[in-house]
Amino acid sequence: PGARVAGTDLSFVGVYVRALLPGGAAEQSGLVEPGDQLVAVGGAPVFDATFDAAMTALATVGAAPTLEFFRGSRGELLEAVGRETKKTGTATVTVVDPSGRRREIVVQPGANLRDTLVNDGIDVYRGTTAWTNCAGHQMCGTCIVDVVDGAAATNRKSNDEEGTLNLQGCETSCRLSCVTFVYGDIEVRVRPDREGGFFGSATSGSAW
């Protein structure tokens, strides 16, 4: 369509026009400007999609997709679609412990999830891993949490993280909290049940 879209971290929500290609269809139409946000692809809303998801939607709609853009602030967009706008500059991590008790922690966007939980006195480890874990150095694979809501407001999983979780029989919504970063409101369940043992145990399928 003759527009370049902005987005470097594929997990960020919101896709914006960075520039128009000189002489391209978008520039010639006069309808699109740098800073406009992509809100729908082929009639399907993407205003709340991650950059990665929006690009996937673009790749599946053919050579001449119908694109819809919004010109204005993120707050104005959410108000236009009937969404509440949260306080700028913060995100809320709602934590559910194994007994079902809930608590909320307000963080700055980009906060590391493990550090957030541990610094607030929340135990993310099971059994002996409370003493044998790697202290957040991305080596032991034991700080597993279940992101039950808001996964799109975190960074995407790496192949290494995915493999570590799969070896332990974790649900697809589980994350290693030490490599998870929070960019919006999420809800997590700590110390979730899983089929395998802790990473490196004989029951995890990954013993050394």
Q: Determine the distance from the C-alpha atom of residue 100 to the mean position of all C-alpha atoms in its chain, rounded to a whole number.
A: 23
Distance of alpha carbon 137 from the chain centroid: 21
Cβ 109 vs Cβ 182: under 8 Å: yes
Q: Which residue type does 112 have?
A: N
What mean pLDDT do residues 103-109 have? Answer: 92
Separate counts of helices (H) and strands (E) for the chain: 6, 12
Q: What is residue 38's three-state secondary structure? A: strand
Mean pLDDT of 182-200: 78
Alpha-carbon distance of 3 to 24, in angstroms, equals 8
Arithmetic mean of pLDDT over the chain? 81
User: Residue 169: its pLDDT value, please?
Assistant: 86
